[in-house]
Amino acid sequence: MSSQGVVVLAGGVGASKFLLGLGRVIPPERITIVGNTGDDFKVCGLRICPDLDTVTYTLAGKVSPSRGWGVAGDEFDCLEWLQAYGAPCWFQLGNRDLATHLWRTHLLEQGLGLAEVTARIARTWGLRSQLLPMTESYAPTRVLTDQGDLHLQEYLVREKCRPRVLQVSYRHVEQSRMSPGLPEGLAGACRVVIAPSNPLISIGPILAVPGMKDLLRDSGLPVTAVSPLVGGRALKGPAAKMLKELGHPASALGVARMLQGVAGQFVIDTQDKALKKDIEGLGMQVKVTNTVMAGPADKVALAQAVMGPW
Ligand code: FO1
């Protein structure tokens, strides 16, 4: 890889949209994606990697456009049969999507690492970028709430984000190691991008992998983050509610504070231009532009803004 590569830390839906745009601005082969696996989950013994799958399906043009996750046109009769057996079925797994989880679990049981398994699945669907899980071990994000300690997916999907959040933690992350391939990706890169993803449950787990922050800092590369909050609201997901309940400002400023010391450049939406000075006060360069990716042109324009000049 030439030194024109980009490493992107990515959550699910927002990150995937951004990656579609970035892949039109630089060749996709030059993009190394570090995917969050903190939202990984086990259903009937199957290993589900929602964010890795959302990135894969989106870049492959197979994602459900209405949901932003899962496979377009998928059907759910396997889930209906599972329900008849009494299996917990609040997590919607479509028939085609289940094939991915069956195959991933099978390969993991054969002894392959999650990085290799993810690469094989990505190759199957023609991804030209390199997709790496943040770690190969299982380090699920837990949400301590006023209704108990929940797996992230229980909080997000089963409880529909209703409980009040008291704490977010990344279980077993201290024992995890970053995936092979990341140092090489960084060695050929000219920039690290933190995609517009929830800082607590998408980017937080990636940065919590031991050595990750040091590796980014020691790379000497500019680290550019895109705010996932616009006008104090997340376009998708519970970022604003979670930040507020944990005592952070539910705004681009709150996100910038969480990324202080990691990102030196921050992209915020035009609706938030009043926050520019405060974020600059954190020692970050700030760019104000449209960050709402409604269509393909918006995605490309945002990727161009991120890539500079700064
Ligand atoms: N999100 C939901 O709101 N409801 C679901 O039933 C659901 C199932 C699901 C299955 C596979 C998958 O890859 C993603 C799925 N998601 C579902 C999305 C997921 O819960 C989250 O949006 C991410 O984990 C956070 O990025």
Tens of pLDDT, residue by residue over 75-122, are: 999 999 999 999 999 999 999 999 999 999 999 999 999 999 999 999
Q: Domain 5-307 belongs to what topology?
A: Rossmann fold (3.40.50)
Q: Give the 3-state secondary structure of residue 47.
A: strand
How far is ligand 1, taken at its centre, from the CA of residue 153, in Å?
A: 7
Instruction: Give me the chain's average pLDDT, please.
Output: 96
The Å distance, Cα 58 to ligand 1 centre, comes to: 14
Q: Which atom of ligand 1 is nearest to the CA of 41?
A: 24
Q: Which residues contact 239 (CB under 8 A, 6 or more apart)?
A: 198, 199, 200, 228, 229, 250, 255
283-309 pLDDT, tens digit each: 999 999 999 999 999 999 999 999 999
SS3 state of residue 68 = coil
- Ligand 1 in contact with 69 (CB < 6 A)? yes
What's the pLDDT tens digit per position in 133-172?
A: 999 999 999 999 999 999 999 999 999 999 999 999 999 9
Q: Which residues pair with 32 in a beta bridge?
A: 7, 130
Task: Look at residue 23 and give its three-state secondary structure.
Answer: helix
Quote the pLDDT of residue 229. 97
Give the alpha-carbon dihedral of 51, 53, 59, 65, to 10 degrees: -90
Atom of ligand 1 nearest to the CA of 237: 22
Confidence tier at 2 by pLDDT (50, 70, 90): very low
* Six-digit token string for 224: 């550019």
Write out pLDDT tens, residues 37-78.
999 999 999 999 999 999 999 999 999 999 999 999 999 999
Confidence of residue 236 (pLDDT cuts 50, 70, 90): confident
Nearest to 6 by CA among 202, 265, 290, 287: 265
Mean pLDDT, range 177-206, rounded to an integer: 95
Strand partners, 170: 141
pLDDT reading at 203 higher than 60 = yes
pLDDT one-digit tens code per residue, 252-281: 999 999 999 999 999 999 999 999 999 999
Substitution candidate for ligand 1 out of 91, 105, 236 with most atoms within 8 A of CB: 91
50 lines ligand 1 (CB under 6 A): yes
Q: What does the pLDDT read at residue 3?
A: 57
Question: Which of 156, 162, 202, 206 to probe ligand 1 with, by most ligand atoms within 8 A of CB?
Answer: 156
For residue 277, the model assigns a pLDDT of 98
